[in-house]
Amino acid sequence: MSLPSRNAVVPFVSVDNMMRLVLHVGIEQMMVELAEAIEADFHRWPQFDKTPRVASHSDIGVIELMPTSDGKHYGFKYVNGHPANMRQGLQTVTAFGVLADVATGYPLLLSEMTILTALRTAATSAMAAKWLAPRDSRVMAMIGNGAQAEFQALAMKAICGIEEVRLYDLDPAATRKCTANLAGRGLRVTQCETAEDAILGAQIITTCTADKQYATILTDNMVGGGVHINAVGGDCPGKTELHRDILLRAGIFVEYPPQTRIEGEIQQLAADHPVTELWEVITGSAPGRTGAGQVTLFDSVGFAIEDFSALRYIHARLQGTGLFQELDMIADPDESRDLFGMLCRAEAAARVA
């Protein structure tokens, strides 16, 4: 089944169809392909409109819009972050997104993005680690074993060659869940009782915790030289995971500084503290890791271009799969200026019926 060509009909990827597409492609293969799509868009970073996400904060969470455009396509994601949802059996993060044609303003795709965001977040983490982590990294520590953990581990395996993941979470049930989900997927999985134990022997350390607070998941004395840290969980004002002293001795790499300085680990630092934009490393205009003993930090908060890349990828990958529904969501009157006449004809048809 090909994508619909009529402007009034928009392909919609439901949660069920997204899962079918992921399984059709393969979980690890999809994250490899997503990382390639994201990296391709990082190569043309200057072409994109860029703005910090539009956020509506409350005491219990945040609702955000993440828009961008490359001049040909426009994309946005609606996403929330509500850590307390977990206590009600709800997802802490949910999302959907739209890809549109700039020339007409018509949407090209409407998609769930709760699953897709998990995939693209992990793909971005692994893409960053590919550029910044020590060569031949084989062991990863995963601190925070919630909804994102398995995606992170499998992306690191597929893209960076990780062979062992060391798990730690304050909630042992989360670690048991993650261990069970990763069984039979080609990774050695070690359950750890402390964060200190988890990072032993790890070249890549990923933190991904959910609490909306200034937290200290890693202290400076825990982090030895030569490691790469993916700080994923600190993604809004007042929410961090790393002790400030780690930041002061690390080479820090970010997506978009105006957003990361508000939401990321570097909200703890002075506004002029030097950071490097990841796209500059990928294009060769700035160095990445500069020495074997350097601590590198990817201060990941998620940026709209990554969601744009994911939507662009899904739109292309749907071709020929039939894994979408056609939504009649754009009014299509016989004469473009006669929208009311379209309603009148519907009224007349209803009377006849």
Span 269-278, pLDDT tens digits: 999 999 999 9
Average pLDDT for the chain: 94
pLDDT greater than 80 at residue 8: no
CB 290 within 8 A of CB 251: yes
CA of residue 286 relative to chain centroid, distance: 23
Q: Are 311 and 109 in contact (CB under 8 A)?
A: yes
- What is the mean predicted confidence (pLDDT) over 241-268? 95
Query: What amino acid positions are annotated as catalytic residues?
Result: 235
Is a pLDDT exceeding 90 seen at residue 332? no
Q: Say if CB 152 and CB 125 are below 8 A apart.
A: yes
Res 86 pLDDT > 90 = no
The three-state secondary structure class of 43 is helix
Q: Is the pLDDT of residue 314 over 60?
A: yes
Separation between Cα atoms, residue 308 and residue 304, nearest integer Å: 6
Residue with tokens 């703890």: 268
Report d(CA 291, CA 288) in Å as an integer.
9
- Evaluate if residue 6 carries a pLDDT over 60: no
What share of the chain in percent tops pLDDT 70? 97
Lookup: tokens for 287: 């160095």
Q: Which of 25-34, 236-245, 299-308 has the lowest mean pLDDT?
A: 236-245
| Tokens encoding 341 | 């006449």
- Decide: 126 and 35 in contact? Cβ < 8 Å: yes
Rounded CA gap, 247 and 2, in Å? 49
Can you list the domains of the chain with their CATH numbers?
A: 9-115+306-352 (3.30.1780.10), 125-302 (3.40.50.720)
Q: Residue 311: is its pLDDT beyond 80?
A: yes
pLDDT range class, residue 214, cuts 50, 70, 90: confident
Average pLDDT on 188-194 reads: 97
* Whole-number Å distance between alpha carbons of 291 and 299: 19
3-state secondary structure 68-136: EECCCEEEEEEEEECHHHHHHCCCCCCEEEEEEECCCCCEEEEEECHHHHHHHHHHHHHHHHHHHCCCC
Cα 283 to Cα 13, 72, 161, 291: the distances in Å are 33, 22, 22, 19
Structure tokens, 1: 């089944």
The yes-or-no verdict on residue 1 having pLDDT over 90 is no
Give the pairing of strands 204-207 and 164-168. Answer: unpaired
For the stretch 47-74, pLDDT in tens is 999 999 998 989 888 899 999 999 999 9
In this model, does residue 353 exceed pLDDT 80? no
Output the CA–CA distances (angstroms, integers) from residue 76 to 69, 107, 312, in the order listed.
Answer: 9, 11, 11
Q: Supply the pLDDT for residue 283.
A: 98
Q: What is the mean pLDDT of residues 107-112?
A: 98
* Residue 176, pLDDT score: 98
Which uninterrupted H or E stretch holds 278?
helix 278-282
Average pLDDT over residues 285-309: 97
Distance CA 213, CA 80 (A): 16
Average the pLDDT over each of 205-214, 238-247, 257-266 and give the range with the smallest value. 205-214
Between 353 and 186, the more confident residue is 186
Amino acid at 158: A
